[in-house]
Each structure stands twice: as structure tokens, then as C-alpha cells.
Chain A
């Protein structure tokens, strides 16, 4: 039997940072190749990196959001690229801007089909949300770690809201033991 923890895969990491300098997004949009900037629609300028793949949202305040990376290392690498691109435009960027991971999205596989109806009742209707008419996944909010898990009939799951990769591991352990206690993982 495969430990469900070994099936965990990081799918997306969201992080925020800042260069410590205000920006004229209009001119950055002109000089930065591939930049998307439509202030009427959204105040941030969108810049995509190819390797690693990610999307950076750059704001007038100099604050930046990076999303789409597959690991925390990729977040740092993507932002390093963004910082260098800005420096090429003669923009001052702090030496090592603090990068804060805000959210990690992971997927995993329990390796068994799940009876979501039984799980909804077993885990307590007041704690879960399962509306198959609206979405096929069952929404399970954990207190510790503070994450949200989406459970599917296939046994696959998505965990989001975590700040560290270990949050997903702890969440999987708790979900597995809760389901085993209820006899719903057989």
C-alpha cells in the first residue's frame, strides 16, 4: 500500500514580495516585453515567466504577487527573474526582498474510491459542504493544519490554504485517520 502522503504533489504556490520602490506601471508596460497591463480592468501588471512557469502581478506600490509556481524554489527563481528584468529597466530593486508564501495548493490520492454521501454524514453535516449539484467535490475544512480539502469520489483530493508543504502532509494524515476511524476508507 502506498502511503497517501507519497502521492502529494504541489500544484501551485502563491507568494508575495516587494521591491521597496514605487513604479510607473505605464512605462514598465511599455518596456517590458510580454507585459499585460489594463488598469481599467485590474490595477496590477501581469508578467509571465517561462522557466519556471509563473505569473507575476506587479503593482504601482512595488509589491508583487507570484503565482503558478510548482515549488517554493520555483517561486524564488521566478521572482529572481522578475527582479532582474526590472533592474534591466534601470529600476532599483532591494538586495534580497522578503518573499512570503501565502498559499500552497497540492493534490494527492487516497488510492480508494470514496462514498462522499457517507463521508458527509460521517464527518458531520455541519462541518462539511457537499453539494454534487453544484460541484462534485466535498469541501472539508480542517482546524489543524488550517487548510481546506476537496475530496472526490475517485479518492483524489486537493488541499489548499497551507503556508508550508508539511501542512498538506499533516492534512492527509488527519483525513486518512478520520476516515479510517469512521470505517469509510476500506
Chain B
């Protein structure tokens, strides 16, 4: 009775301290990634659910916090890649990915695969590309996806290649290096996806 009561308080306190630390970490990471407050709140709601369902056991708080932030960005339609979140987390990419898959499965988040188009606005603005280039990149993504080119490809690499191609078509050329820097993929990946995409689009340069 009294022991059980004390245990509850202890558990609750531990949980609160756990939550407090997780929320401050989420805030720190979200700030350095310029993620809006509304998305941070979604991340916190997911984290709280994970805590309630006892999904933290056996994992680091930081890992779960990073994963829920990654999930929240996807849910809100402004995804950050694992590379990007890993850069501001002290948990490595592989662990963030694993934890994300576990949390998404256990909480039935039913996350759809990321549409590469979701990366176009942010990547293009970081590259200072015009609205015209964004429209063109989206068109390339839509057309080539319909032709079946997207299956199994990383959304960031796919978006990066479309943006690179669009920048050429709109005479606002960015180098593969510049695009690969903002998209966090290698130039080789951009080159490979780019070749497939222009061929599917029937473009000859």
C-alpha cells in the first residue's frame, strides 16, 4: 500500500524527469534544424505515447526523442532526412532509423513513404532557386514516378536529381556538388538518378 504508493511516485517522477529531458532535447534538435513549434509539439505527443506504452525500455531517451522528431516532421509534411537529424543528435543514424521503425510499428503510426516532392521547397530555397525550378522539379518527380522509377530509391537522392535536372532546364544551373551538399547525398547518387530521370522524361542534352 504505502510501498506501492511510493513506487508510483518514484515511477512517475522518473517518467517526468525522463519526459523533461526528452522534451529539452527535442527542442534543442528542432531549433538547430529550424523545425516549427507545431511540429515539435507533434513530436512531444508521439514521445509521450511511446513513454506511456513503455517503448523507451532498453533504448536511449535521446534515440527515441530523435526518432519521434523525425517521425513528426514526416507526419507534418516537412520531412528531415535521417542524415539531417543524425547531424544534430548524439545518436547515430542507424540507431535512429531502427528506433523510428520500432516506434512507428508499435504506435501504429502508419507512415506513408516520403514523397520526394516534400524536399523540393526546402532544398530549392537553400540553393536560392526560383519557383520555376521547383515547379519543374516537381514535374520531373511526378512523371518519372508514374513511369515506375521511384521504387526502392531514397527520397532525398531522388529529389536532389530532379532539382539538379530542373536547374539545368531552367538555366539556373547548380553543380552536382552544390545540390549534393544541401541534400546530403553523394554526387554519384545524383548522377545515377539524374540519368534515369532525363531518359524517362525523353530529354536529350
Listed in ascending order, the chain A residues whose CB lies under 8 Å from chain B are 113-117, 120-121, 125-126, 129-134, 136-137, 152-153
B114, A133: Cβ atoms closer than 8 Å = yes
In the bound complex, residues from chain A placing their C-beta under 8 Å from that of B145 are: 117
Residue of chain B at shortest CB distance from A120:
B113
B105, A132: Cβ atoms closer than 8 Å = no
Distance of A108 from chain B, by nearest CB (Å): 17
What are 20 residue pairs bridging A and B, where the CB atoms are less than 8 Å apart in the complex? A113-B148, A113-B151, A115-B148, A115-B151, A116-B151, A117-B113, A117-B150, A120-B112, A125-B112, A126-B110, A129-B101, A132-B152, A132-B153, A132-B154, A132-B155, A133-B114, A133-B154, A133-B156, A134-B101, A137-B152
B113, A152: Cβ atoms closer than 8 Å = no
B152, A121: Cβ atoms closer than 8 Å = no
A152, B108: Cβ atoms closer than 8 Å = no
B97, A134: Cβ atoms closer than 8 Å = yes
List residues 131-173 of chain B with CB under 8 A from any CB of chain A. Answer: 145, 148, 150-156
A121-B155 in contact given A115-B148, A129-B105 (Cβ < 8 Å): no
A133, B151: Cβ atoms closer than 8 Å = no
B113, A131: Cβ atoms closer than 8 Å = yes
Q: Complex Cα distance A129/B155, Å?
A: 16
A136, B112: Cβ atoms closer than 8 Å = no
B101, A136: Cβ atoms closer than 8 Å = no
B108, A126: Cβ atoms closer than 8 Å = yes
Residue of chain A at shortest CB distance from B105:
A129
Interface footprint category on B: 20 to 34
Q: Which of A125, A126, A136 contacts B152 (CB 8 A)?
A: A136
Q: Complex Cα distance A100/B197, Å?
A: 49
A117, B151: Cβ atoms closer than 8 Å = yes
Q: Which of A114, A129, A134 contacts B151 (CB 8 A)?
A: A114
In the bound complex, residues from chain A placing their C-beta under 8 Å from that of B82 are: 133-134
A116, B97: Cβ atoms closer than 8 Å = no
Residue of chain B at shortest CB distance from A137:
B152
In the bound complex, residues from chain A placing their C-beta under 8 Å from that of B152 are: 116, 132, 136-137, 152-153
Q: Complex Cα distance A113/B82, Å?
A: 27
In the bound complex, residues from chain B placing their C-beta under 8 Å from that of A152 are: 151-152
Indicate whether B81 reaches chain A with its CB closer than 8 angstroms: yes
In the bound complex, residues from chain B placing their C-beta under 8 Å from that of A136 are: 151-153
Known: A114-B151, A132-B113, A134-B97. 20 other contacts (CB 8 A): A113-B148, A113-B151, A115-B148, A116-B151, A116-B152, A117-B113, A117-B151, A120-B113, A121-B112, A126-B108, A126-B110, A130-B113, A131-B113, A132-B152, A133-B81, A133-B97, A133-B154, A134-B82, A153-B152, A153-B153
Q: Complex Cα distance A115/B153, Å?
A: 11
Indicate whether B111 reaches chain A with its CB closer than 8 angstroms: yes
In the bound complex, residues from chain B placing their C-beta under 8 Å from that of A153 are: 148, 151-153
Q: Complex Cα distance A129/B81, Å?
A: 17
In the bound complex, residues from chain B placing their C-beta under 8 Å from that of A120 are: 112-113
In the bound complex, residues from chain A placing their C-beta under 8 Å from that of B108 are: 126
Point out which of B82, B151, B155 has the most chain A C-beta atoms below 10 A from its C-beta.
B151
In the bound complex, residues from chain B placing their C-beta under 8 Å from that of A137 are: 152
